Amino acid sequence: MTVRQTAEALGLTLLCGDGDREISGVYVGDLLSRCMSRVTEGCLWITIMSNINAVAVAALTDPACIVFCEDVEIDDVVLDRARENDIAIAKSTLDAYALCVAYHNACGENQ
Amino acid sequence: MDELSLYVLDITMNSVRAGAAEISVTLREEGEWLDFTVTDNGCGMTEEQVQKLTDPFFTTRKTRKVGLGIPFLTMLAEMTGGYVRITSTHESVSDDHGTTTHARFGRNHIDFIPLGDMIGTVVTLIQGSPDINFVYTHTTERGTVSLSCEELRAVLEDVPLNEPEVLAWIADNLNEQYQALASD
């Protein structure tokens, strides 16, 4: 599924970035130093860490989209830097577990 | 990075890359705070560089466009109710140049992480840069652990500090000092 299809299926709000990228997997994590080595290229990265450092980690690891979950606040500077670096960002009111379950179900329906 | 010692290593490596000949690494545990301070006489930074330090998209590295050392340190310190303060004098401004990085952490805060292996960190630093004069000091309520490369070198004369026997002795010595603190 693409980022846009996933956003529609999971009820995410896509805030910026390329919606046409294919998603290759999911990673959930908030400890950014660990995420640096675990977020994989093309994945959906679900986190509550909605700060500029998360955007920098994404610039290094190139996920298809960062999903800020649990309705965390997102500063404008985060979105500005994400746009500058072509990083897709979406947000959701759901928590990480609910998003993973929803993604899993959506993948099944799309096969 | 889930141990504080990894942050100490990361920050101290900045001093090494800045061409410092003298680097002091000081840890102090007192009351609710753990402070670590790394002071070097390296090339220093300009005011503009210091201002941009917390921006992860600013880095002195040429190999990639993102630098997360100071941003991660600042994030961790602030999450525990502490802070990071950096003062620096660039070599173009004064002969008395260098950088001091001071990070304060709330050691009782729920988001604080374990200190980790400081002995291994000190040994790793000396192994990688045997010609730098590292001074390591760790003060707790029970006393102080310290090591000075300059003093070691005065005794060892021409023996490089990264000889395996010397590194093993350094590790043993620090270990004994920590054990003496713990048993007091």
Chain A to chain B Cβ contacts (< 8 Å)? 37
Which residue among A31, A33, A52 sits closest to B56, beta carbon to beta carbon?
A52
Q: Mean pLDDT across chain A, nearest whole number?
A: 95
Q: Which domain holds residue A53?
A: 3-109
Q: Given a cut of 90, is residue A15 above it in pLDDT?
A: yes
Q: How far are the Cα atoms of A23, B44, B71 from residue A40, in angstroms, in the given order?
A: 10, 35, 21
Q: How far are the Cα atoms of A15, B22, B143, B179, B184 from residue B107, in angstroms, in the given order?
A: 37, 28, 18, 21, 22
Closest-CA distance, A75 to chain B, in angstroms, reads 14
Q: Residue A33 and residue B68: Cβ atoms within 8 Å?
A: yes
pLDDT at B67: 78
* Contact A81/B at CB under 8 A: yes
Which residue among A33, A34, A53 sits closest to B56, beta carbon to beta carbon?
A53
pLDDT at A12: 97
Which CATH number do you get for residue A26?
3.40.1390.20
pLDDT at A111: 62
pLDDT at B65: 65
Strand partners, A2: A22
Q: Using CA atoms, how far apart are residues A25 and A44, in angstroms rounded to an integer?
A: 6
pLDDT at A109: 82
Domain boundaries, chain B: 4-183
pLDDT at A108: 86
Closest-CA distance, A97 to chain B, in angstroms, reads 22
Domain B4-183: give its CATH superfamily.
Answer: Histidine kinase-like ATPase, C-terminal domain (3.30.565.10)
* Contact A77/B at CB under 8 A: no
Which phi and psi (to 5°) does residue B20 adopt?
-70, 145
Q: Is A37 exposed, middle or buried (0-12, 13-18, 19+ CB in 10 A)?
A: exposed
Q: Using CA atoms, how far apart are residues B76 and A107, in angstroms rounded to an integer?
A: 36
> What ipTM does this complex have?
0.73
Neighbours of A77 (CB within 10 A): 12
Residues of B in Cβ contact (< 8 Å) with A34: 1-2
Number of domains in chain A: 1
pLDDT at B61: 62
Q: What is the mean pLDDT of each run of 10 residues along chain B (184 residues)?
A: 92 95 97 97 93 81 73 93 96 96 95 94 97 97 96 92 96 97 84
Residues of B in Cβ contact (< 8 Å) with A59: 57, 65-66
